[in-house]
Chains A and B, each alone.
Chain A
Amino acid sequence: MNNSVLDERSRFLRRRIVDVLKEAKRGHVGAALSLVEIFRVLYDDVLRYDPKNPRWKDRDRCILSKGHGCLALYAILADKGFFPREELAKFCQPDGILGGHPEIKVPGVETSSGSLGHGLSIGLGMALNARYEKADYRVFVVMGDGECNEGSVWEAALSAGKHKLSNLTAIIDYNKMQSYATTAEVQNLEPFADKWRAFNFAVREVDGHDVSVLRQALKNIPIENGKPSVIICHTVKGKGFSGTECNLKWHHKNKISDEEIDQMYGELAR
């Protein structure tokens, strides 16, 4: 796993992220780069949405619960036309709408997030509403591995399992690194898949950078009828650049230098 070569579309989305970094010189870079293929497949192949009508009632709900990964979400939302591409250059600026964590004022952003461990419960509420209304929209919650340290995640998992919400899918960016160190060192999640199974989720593990595998997994949910799904995506923090991959210094980086930006552009051009 994780040795997949990035194709032009994946490089294009990363270029968009580097465009932002070039202006802002800051961001949760590692956490965004591990998410790029997940969002690419969701928005290119899986989700039902209308960029001209972001609150369309029949849309699939896609919550970015690990809000610090927002650069990957902004890149795809801009590409799909939810907001003008020029907004990307105003990341974290007083006159921009795109902050270091996503907020609902951004067209296409489902919930304001940033503090971890909120999204799955909110998604649970949305999924219960769909069941009550007999609506066929689906709910996807994109979460981090470090986020799964939060007890609230497991409270939500208990409820989702109890309610047998097959319209709810958790997607976990399992890049195995959090802010301080590896997840194994900080708060070991293993046996991770078994934990979700024990909470009555149907589980699938995939290479989170292999778009064909991701596509196949995300297009075939629920994994099991009568159960919420979890897709554990094995990913690489900082995926795509020699300097950022598995490098904790890029978890959140300030003062990104012009040289670093040039190097990133250079690697994308190869």
Chain B
Amino acid sequence: MRKTCLEIVYELAKKDKRVFFIGSDLGEGTLDKYKKEMPDRFFMEGISEANIIGMAAGLAMEGKIPYINTIATFLTRRCFEQVVVDLGLHNLNVRLLGNGGGLVYAPLGPTHEATDDIAIMRTIPHMTVVAPADADEMRRVVNQTIDYQGPVYIRIAKGFDPIVTREEVPFKIGKAILMKEGADALVITTGITLKIGLDAAAQLKKEGLHISVLHVPTVKPLDEEQILASAKKVPVIVTIEEHTVIGGLGSAVAETIAEADMLSFKRFRRIGIPDVFPDQYGSQASLMEYFGITAEKTALLIGELVQMKGKGVEIVQ
């Protein structure tokens, strides 16, 4: 996914002289071709995220479109204030490409695990937050960032994630995609959890339950219209995210359905990382399992919630 992302940045740079690339201290050989062909629009500025954000802001104020790439935690936590003031307050066209969104860097521990990036970026006015599900969707997202107003944060997943999105579905930043429709429950996903949602739906189908799967690659601005339209039709709503349950997709959806006065009549749950720092190593998959962010756990939870028929309504009475 990262490879695709950077390839598109290269292609955009070839076509459009407003595109600049800024890295911190990325792996050897990153975008070599770009550097060779367009050296005056390629910068590797060292491990200095605050400076990189400001430098990109200065370029963007002059009409350029800088793409910044480094590890997601450093791009969101380390230089948060620069992102808020330099990019958010000035509403600048800077693109932040965060490597290792979620639990990708499981072997490297909590300093490298971007478990709160979506929540952090979501609080910033003007910021757009996108978590593509696979490399194909990444291609569609990055291509759209050339003509898009305001700063954009793009969460990059591990890579070689199974392709689950479909080319024929029109993609637009800010729009949710209804992947599957069913009347028993609604699963809302972002990033690679789309696959988990689809697998859970397939599993539940065998048990006779029909599940809607709504993919929300853009967590901000949130496609509230589509979320409410889908939520309206089902008694059970579950969100799945590879992220803390505080402030991410689940929170955003909860805020939306609560303010639409729907919550009393629905059973709503968030699947994600609880309010803890991951306390074990392993792999992305093993940590996902550890935190219960799996198709099996999702299917189990939905099965239970569907059984609790009417409970939500009883609370109101």
| Residues of A bordering B, CB below 8 Å | 104, 111-112, 114-115, 117-130, 132-133, 151-152, 155-156, 158-159
Contact = CB atoms under 8 A, between A and B. Distances in A.
B54 A156 contact: yes
Interface stretch (B41-49, B134-142, B249-257): B41-49
B90 A104 contact: yes
Nearest to A124: B55
A122 B40 contact: no
B161 interface: no
28 contacts: A115-B85, A117-B50, A118-B85, A121-B50, A121-B58, A121-B82, A123-B58, A125-B55, A125-B58, A125-B59, A125-B60, A125-B66, A126-B61, A126-B62, A127-B58, A128-B59, A129-B58, A129-B62, A130-B62, A132-B41, A152-B50, A155-B48, A156-B51, A158-B48, A158-B51, A159-B46, A159-B48, A159-B55
Q: Is the interface of B mostly helix, strand, loop or mixed?
A: helix
B62 A121 contact: no
B57 A125 contact: yes
B89 interface: yes
Given A129-B58, A129-B59, A124 B51 contact: yes
B46 A122 contact: no
Nearest to B61: A126
A117 B40 CA distance: 26
Given A122-B58, A125-B56, A129-B59, 13 more contacts: A111-B90, A117-B50, A121-B52, A121-B82, A125-B55, A125-B59, A125-B62, A133-B62, A155-B46, A156-B51, A156-B54, A159-B48, A159-B55
B54 A121 contact: yes
B97 to A, nearest CB: 18
A22 B10 CA distance: 56
B81 interface: yes
B293 to A, nearest CB: 36
A115 B46 contact: no
B269 interface: no
B64 interface: yes
B227 interface: no
Contacts of B58: 121-129
Interface in B276-317: none
Output the residue of A104, A118, A127, A151 with the most chain B CB within 10 A: A118
A159 B51 contact: yes
A40 B197 CA distance: 63
Contacts of A156: 51, 54-55
Nearest to A137: B62
Given A118-B85, A158-B48, A159-B48, A152 B54 contact: yes
Closest 3 CB pairs of A and B: A125-B58, A121-B54, A155-B51
Nearest to A120: B54
B169 to A, nearest CB: 37
A129 to B, nearest CB: 4
A117 B52 CA distance: 13
Contacts of B51: 121, 124, 152, 155-156, 158-159
A129 B61 CA distance: 10
Output the residue of A104, A117, A123, A125 with the most chain B CB within 10 A: A125
B170 to A, nearest CB: 35
Contacts of B57: 111, 121-122, 125
A159 B58 CA distance: 13
A151 B43 CA distance: 20
Given A121-B50, A158-B46, A112 B55 contact: no
B173 to A, nearest CB: 25
Contacts of B52: 121
A128 B56 CA distance: 10
Nearest to B91: A104
Nearest to B54: A121
Nearest to A127: B58
A78 to B, nearest CB: 23
B90 A121 contact: no
B92 to A, nearest CB: 10
B53 interface: yes
A38 to B, nearest CB: 21
Contacts of A117: 50
A151 B55 contact: no
B86 interface: yes
Given A115-B81, A132-B40, A159-B46, A122 B54 contact: yes
Given A111-B90, A159-B45, A122 B50 contact: no
